[in-house]
Structure 1
Amino acid sequence: MIATGLAAIALAVAAPGAGQAVSSAPLANTQLADPQAEAQAQDLMEELRCLTCQSQSIADSNAPMAGDMRHQVRSRIAAGESPEEVRAWLVERYGDYITYRPGIGSATWPLYALPILFLLIALVVLVRRLGRNGE
């Protein structure tokens, strides 16, 4: 009985904030005063991948790294940088993987070229099959 009571007290003391990620970045969870700048920041944060979670945007993630990245996005936009400049800085720092919309480059061109190639192959196969059925 005493052990159960001590365990309950220990859980009550340890539980607040136990599962919550706390970021030391002040702008991680604070919106910018300028609504237009905040909208730009929010749009950009939806397009950036959390490097810790990998399946969430930094806008949706509670990971400390995502909080730090949200802070960076908001502080750079508040300082007057455009969303594209912020995106370019993050891509330079973390690579194309950081963005859900990678640009065409030496490493990413297959992402754009292969679907077109597959469609052309499917079209050729379809034309040949239809041509055989007509004979």
Structure 2
Amino acid sequence: MNDAQRDYDIARLRTFIAIAKTGDLQAAAEQLKTSHAQVSVRLRSLEDHLGVELFKRTPSGMILTAAGAALLPEARAILAESTPTPFASDMIRGVKVNGRFALPIPSSGHRSGATNRTARIGQRFSRISAG
């Protein structure tokens, strides 16, 4: 999958989540800072791609179908995975990150694994120390 396709897929999932949250195409468009038509196109495209109807369209708004309800937690998880953390964003931009971190060690005493992870983090991020 190329970057353009990935971005388009992410946009469709963001649109789906916004509609699920607001229950309304216009409110979703406002939340996403786009047009009602664009929201409608993205939703139709996602439904066509998946081969299912994700919402029941009613006079009072959009209601998730069973398929939509099943997709919603997955869509949220995909977006969470695709959104860089502030730390990752800083690293991408080349910002020098300083600080200390704590690594919990289970009471079962598996300290060697924690020590190895700590060493790897220290090697990769020289300005961060364990504490």
TM-score range, shorter chain: under 0.3
- The TM-score with structure 2 as length reference comes to 0.23
TM-score by structure 1 length? 0.23
